[in-house]
Amino acid sequence: MSTALITDPWIERQVRAGRLAPGARGMTREQAATQFNEANALTPSDLDYLYTPTHAQVIATELLALVGIDVDPAARIMLTDGTAGARCRAYLINVGQAQAACEEHRLVTGEALSADALIEALPWA
């Protein structure tokens, strides 16, 4: 008798995309992303840096605060090509806002963050 392994859908998408090895199926999202980033010597300034969905939400909330956009901590930040702003339980931002927030972070802290890596990790509305 074999035991079925329930795989996290986010990890499965990363495995199928070739970002994570099949062995990541038994890990948490955080463990898999940490292992990927460390194995590839990636930092948040790298384009290929892998954010988990939760980590991307936390970082995006902090970055948006730097440019004067206060997001309810319970809101889910999502990307849009349309009008930005609060929508039900979400806060919609456009790609330019994410890029500006990453640039503001670099100017304030001196630490570069890849806007492309963050944008890749955020869901679209």
- Give the tens place of pLDDT for each residue, 38-72: 999 999 999 999 999 999 999 999 999 999 999 99
Residue 5 has pLDDT above 70, yes or no: no
Is 61 within 8 Å of 69 (Cβ atoms)? no
Beta bridge partners, 124, equal 79
Q: Running DSSP on this structure, what letter comes out for residue 79?
A: E
Q: Running DSSP on this structure, what letter comes out for residue 40?
A: T
Torsion angle of alpha carbons 30, 41, 58, 78, nearest 10°? -100
Confidence (pTM): 0.88
Quick one: how far is CA 43 from the chain centroid?
Answer: 13
Residue 6 has pLDDT above 60, yes or no: yes
Question: What pLDDT does residue 8 have?
Answer: 92
Element (H or E) spanning 93, and its range? strand 90-93
